[in-house]
Amino acid sequence: MLSNCKERAKRHGGKVTIDRNWIIAKLETGTCELTGLSFDLKPTEKGHANPYSPSLDRINSQNKDYSPENTRVVLQAVNMAINEHGLETVLPILKALVSSN
């Protein structure tokens, strides 16, 4: 996770001030910082990302830095949805889904 975020930050002109220990401390909680759902560290079928695996999410995506203030550890699927559509779009959809079930 750390090497991937370093590559992304370098490519986009950001800085990385989180470190291995910061990530480990976040992973030790065992849960996504947005949903509270547990992480799953098991690999999935070849070529598919585990939607429950942990992923580093920049809270403010305009800020290219991976700092403790701008980074959280969330589920891979949550990060993908937020990256594609933004939390402002995804949150009402998820709330509607929950309330309809």
CA distance 52 to 45: 13
Assess whether pLDDT exceeds 90 at residue 64: yes
CATH number for the domain spanning 44: value is 3.30.40.220
Structural domain span for residue 30: 2-100
User: What is the share, in percent, of the chain residues with pLDDT greater than 90?
Assistant: 77
CA distance 94 to 91: 5
Q: Give the pLDDT confidence score for residue 44 in this predicted structure.
A: 82
- As for how many domains the chain has, the answer is 1
